[in-house]
Structure 1
Amino acid sequence: MGRITASRTSLKGDPKHNSMLAGKFINCLMLDGKKTTAQKVFYDALAEIGKRNSDSEPIQIFEEAVENIKPYIEVRSKRVGGASYQVPMQVNRTRQQSLAIRWLLAAVRDKKGRPMHLKLADEVLAAYKKEGVAYTKRENTHRMADANKAFAHFAW
């Protein structure tokens, strides 16, 4: 039921790796229309990841980290008979990706006192190793959905 946004039809891959995920991430990272600044932060973070982890390509590490953060089930509020229930529901692919990017950026922006590319590199490496703030957010979402599976019969 979601609208097709312009970004879905006109999204281009990033200039260096031609990755659609990286292009989308750079667009979400961008503030005030400053795309070159967002690209510089992203590529500096990839360079930092490459320094710290030399056994894999940095773009592969980034894609695997986003894959690790994606939630597969979430709770949605559903009103039944005057009461609101937290009903666990499957998450579609586009929402999985947008939630993963949103959680990763929120985790990075909450940290203070260091350059953005270092914070981003830290969080991506943590998500790659299945730890960190963004991965914890995913685990909490799955845990809440699991706790409310008694209300799954309302998901119709």
Structure 2
Amino acid sequence: MSSQTQLPDIDKVGSGLNEIKLFDKWSWEGIEIRDPSLKKYISLKPTYLPHSGGRHEHKRFGKAEVNVVERLINRLMYPGKNGGKKMMAYNIVRNAFDIIYLETKENPIQVFVRAIENSAPREETTRIMYGGIVYRVSVDVSSQRRVDLAIRFITEGARECSFGNIKPIEQCLADEILLASRNDPQSYSIKQKEEIERIALSSR
């Protein structure tokens, strides 16, 4: 009985046999969060498979402890017909990260974190009523809401790009993350952020 020699998997990037890697490819080590206000709310807890099963659901601010890639996957599942199809969303993100690596030769997790930092608005407006008249005033955005809005804008941009288009959503998601990470004004999420901050500036 001849023993077969197992070739190394060329798809696996990085080194370290016992290191926990996202999708068994991407290392969690060395990921830098440049915005100090977001460090507490961008969870980089090492995990092979980003699926926590909703353990954070009944805990206040529990989503801050959910892995940031899992939050992206969860956001891709809704609204609409993709609700509950986590395996589909999982495959979309995995393929999008592969595309990001092929185009940048960087760790896709680092690129995604940079996209969140660039897409997170710092100021928005709220409504207050004074004497029966409704005013819009500018307010600072909390750190957790900044992360929430950034992830929402990124997924909305990918969804709008792929709707009625031959370009698959994996490519659209990768393009949106890449553009946002470069602070490119063509990015949907950067446009949304700048629009929110522009309205808030005029409401000061």
Q: What's the secondary structure of 2:126's corresponding residue?
A: strand
**1:71 and 1:141 in contact (8 A); partners too:** yes
2:175 match: 122
Q: Deviations over 1:16-51 (max 9, x none)?
A: xxxx11111111112321111111100100000001
1:140 match: 195
Q: Which runs of 4+ in 1 moved over 4 A?
A: 10-13
Structure having the higher helix fraction is: 1
Select the structure with the greater relative contact order (CA < 8 A; seq sep ≥ 6). Answer: 1
Q: What's the secondary structure of 2:83's corresponding residue?
A: coil
2:123 match: 73
1:152 match: none
**1:41 and 1:117 in contact (8 A); partners too:** yes
Q: CA RMSD in A?
A: 1.9
Does residue 1:88 correspond to 2:135, yes or no? no
1:154 match: none
Structure 2 matches for 1:1-156, cutoff 5 A? 5-6=57-58, 9=62, 20-30=67-77, 31-54=82-105, 56-111=106-161, 112=163, 113=165, 114-131=167-184, 132-149=187-204
Which of the two has higher C-alpha Rg? 2
Number of corresponding residues? 139
Deviation (angstroms), 1:9: 3.5
**2:125 and 2:199 in contact (8 A); partners too:** yes
Give, in whole Å, the separation in 2 of the partners of 1:12 and 1:93. 14
Identity of aligned residues (%): 29
1:16 match: none
For structure 2, the residue ranges without an aligned partner over 5 or more in a row are: 1-55
Q: What's the secondary structure of 1:86's corresponding residue?
A: strand
Q: Go from structure 1 to structure 2 and tell me whether the alpha carbon gap of 1:59 and 1:70 turns closer, same or farther (over 3 Å shift).
A: same
For normalisation by structure 2, the TM-score amounts to 0.63
Give, in whole Å, the separation in 2 of the partners of 1:10 and 1:25. 12
Q: What's the secondary structure of 1:32's corresponding residue?
A: coil
**2:64 and 2:144 in contact (8 A); partners too:** no
Deviation (angstroms), 1:10: 7.5
Amino acid in structure 2 at the alignment position of 1:87: V
Give, in whole Å, the separation in 1 of the partners of 2:137 and 2:199. 10
**2:95 and 2:170 in contact (8 A); partners too:** yes
